[in-house]
Amino acid sequence: MKEILYQTTHGRNVGYYLLLAGLLCVIGVALYAAHYMDVNGHHITGMNNQIVWGMPHVFAIFLIVAASGALNVASIASVFGKIDYKPLGRLSGLLAIALLAGGLAVLVLDLGQPDRLIVAMTYYNFKSIFAWNIFLYTGFILVVAVYLWMMFERRFNRYSKPIGVFAFIWRFILTTGTGSIFGFLVARQAYDAAIMAPLFIVMSLSFGTAVFILVLVVTYKWTQRPLSDNILKKLRKLNGIFIAAVLYFVLAYHLTNLYATEHHGVERFTLLEGGSITFVFWVVQILIGGVIPLILLFARRANPRVSAILASCLIIIGAFGQLYVIIIGGQAYPLQLFPGMEVSSSFYDGVAGIYSPSMPEFGLGFGGIAMALLIVVIAVRVLPFLPASLANLESTESNSVGDTQIARV
């Protein structure tokens, strides 16, 4: 039996308050952006009747997908019994809730009628995957909250496994629901594919683990707690497998499309002639977000800490690229209403949709990220989420004051 000492962050240092102030500023900007969009209407954004979902959706879906993946580490400990990951379980659950809350806030504030949130909560069309997602997302927060409770409360520790299994299944269904937002769209060439659900699941595993690694490293650096390279080595290997899986699913998606003449148009658009979409696909998604991280994560001689941090940053940049290609690229390619015809109209039929993201959209998106981080920063200060040391599992040394809790693993 090993013991872990969990400890809140502490001290009245300037850095902490500066961080809080910085995050609150970003959230303030986001709220102003949302207000500005609400008062003026969406014409002040880059979104239009061709590209109806824009940058807020790229940010929101990134956060929602990463939320599901951030729970990986807890799942590996509770569901698959890997004891080494157990000390990280609390942070994993916290990040999952925080990222999801940030993502949902962005989605809601982008609505044409954000004040009608109560309508979305009271009128349901259960044939809509969106309606299901409202339950899956809010339910996820609840399930993970209970899961955290089981992890925190020593008397209930034994229930963390069954609840962990339940949360694990829930997050699979949740990400299936997120991928199916696109998979169920029969009208558009880039969507209408069953692979969207599993693709989003592997994306969530990779993006969520990348965010987890960064938050872990930065938190331990700033709170001056020891973090062993062994943990990073394990996480690095894990994310190497995940990013390889993402690349494989992307390959399978495009190969299948390239086989069918019907989809040659959309593939030519994404892979060759789509301008910024093509650039983002090859350079940001594939090279920066896929190939380079894959090499970094599997390079034996690479410093585990440096390579894990660098690869995580690149994976997150690539994740935004991938979601940009899926969301914006999928809409930019025109609907194929008259195959074999040249089409023109006053409503942009037959031509690629044009989109230039606007400042309010970025403001809103970064606000979602800031909100997620703010939740984490406050939570680790008031509750013992973080082990005092991750130098090795036997250590129960406390290097400072603060609320502590010892848990056995």
Binding site for other proteins (CB under 8 A): 38, 40-43, 48-50, 52-53, 111-114, 116-117, 119-120, 123-125, 127-131, 134, 181, 184-188, 331, 335, 337-338, 340-349, 354
Of 116 and 154, nearer to other proteins (C-beta) is 116
For residue 210, the minimal CB distance to other proteins (Å) is 28
Give the SS3 label for residue 404. Answer: strand
Give the SS3 label for residue 227. Answer: strand
For residue 333, the minimal CB distance to other proteins (Å) is 12
Of 126 and 301, nearer to other proteins (C-beta) is 126
* DSSP code of residue 260: S
Of 215 and 327, nearer to other proteins (C-beta) is 327
For residue 171, the minimal CB distance to other proteins (Å) is 21
Q: CB-based burial of residue 160 (10 Å sphere; 0-12 exposed, 13-18 middle, 19+ buried)? A: buried
Of 38 and 383, nearer to other proteins (C-beta) is 38
Residue 52 tokens read as: 């109806």
- DSSP labels, 361-375: HHHHHHHHHHHHHHH
Q: Please report the sign of the dihedral spanned by the C-alpha atoms of residue 306, residue 312, residue 316, residue 322.
A: positive
Element (H, E) at 6: strand 3-7
Residue 83 tokens read as: 């004891």
For residue 35, the minimal CB distance to other proteins (Å) is 13
Of 195 and 287, nearer to other proteins (C-beta) is 195
Of 93 and 368, nearer to other proteins (C-beta) is 368
Of 52 and 382, nearer to other proteins (C-beta) is 52
Q: What is the largest CA-CA distance in the chain?
A: 73
Q: 225-232 — which CB contacts under 8 Å span 24+ positions?
A: 225/386, 225/387, 225/388, 225/389, 225/390, 225/399, 226/389, 226/390, 226/391, 226/395, 227/390, 227/391, 228/390, 228/391, 228/392, 229/304, 229/305, 230/392, 231/84, 231/88, 231/390, 232/304, 232/305, 232/308
Of 45 and 389, nearer to other proteins (C-beta) is 45
For residue 243, the minimal CB distance to other proteins (Å) is 28
Cα 147 to its chain centre, rounded Å, is 20
Residue 177 tokens read as: 């629901």
For residue 95, the minimal CB distance to other proteins (Å) is 26
